[in-house]
Amino acid sequence: MTSDRHDLWVVYSPNESATSDGAGFWSNTHGWTSLCQATRFSTDDTRNLAPPVSLGGDARFVSWREAWQSDG
């Protein structure tokens, strides 16, 4: 992927974060995890893929930059 961080997205679930000690970001490898292990998605991915199943169905794509500023 040849995008910079401004074009990247991660999946975030407030409910998963609240019930899993902050592990509210999705990783295709690890499941619900921290931001540093979260899978980064392209803008095209956000149009073509559905977020994974989450508690309360609240998972959504958020920009990597927004997530980093909120989490970091």
pLDDT at 69 over 90: no
- Number of folded domains that form the chain: 1
Q: Which residues span the domain enclosing 30?
A: 5-71
The mean pLDDT value for 35-44 works out to 97
CA atoms within 13 A on the CB side of 2: 0
In this structure, what token pair is assigned to residue 35? 């931001």
Q: Which pLDDT tens digit goes with each residue over 41-61?
A: 999 999 999 999 999 999 999
For residue 60, what are the β-bridge partners?
Answer: 12
What type of residue sits at position 18? A
The mean pLDDT value for 1-10 works out to 68
Q: What is the pLDDT of residue 12?
A: 97
